[in-house]
Amino acid sequence: MLSGFKQFILRGSVVDLAVGVVIGAAFGSVVTAFTKDLLTPLIAALAGKPDFSSISYPVGSTVFPVGDFLNALVSFLLIAAAVYFFVVTPVNALMNRFGKPAPAPVTTKKCPHCAMDIPVEASRCGHCTQPVGAVAA
């Protein structure tokens, strides 16, 4: 039973997932610090208000702290923009630079009589000996 657990843990995908989670957590703290320490003060300099937490609306005897939601929304948008522009865009550019491999050239075709694979240049099927036409473009 323990050997099965050991085999599961040492499987490549589980180890890769664990590394990804650890790196993701570390990257999350970097992006959060970037947003909190650089982007939010920049917005405060432009908009004049760094924090929306003081905005609230009373309805009857209940107070709705809309500012907390606005803070969370702005933080989310800033983090999403930072991740997109500093991670997704460069990775996509890198992947496009390497490109996709060219598809392999077609070397066989199906015999219309017996449905076996035959070479493209063949004029007669080697399996059923029926004549075959030219390859359709």
This prediction has a pTM of 0.46
20-73 pLDDT, tens digit per residue, is 788 878 887 887 787 777 777 777 777 776 667 777 888 889 988 887 787 778
The span from the CA of 137 to the CA of 125, in Å, is 19
Model confidence at 117, in pLDDT bands (50, 70, 90)?
very high
Location of each CATH 1.10.1200.120 domain in the chain: 13-98
Residues whose CB is less than 8 angstroms from the CB of residue 53 and which lie 6 or more positions away in sequence, other chains included = 65, 67, 68, 71
Q: Which CATH number fits domain 13-98: 1.10.1200.120, 3.40.50.970, 1.10.3720.10, 3.40.50.1370?
A: 1.10.1200.120
pLDDT for 67-88, tens place per residue?
778 777 877 887 778 778 887 8
Looking at residue 113, what DSSP letter applies? T
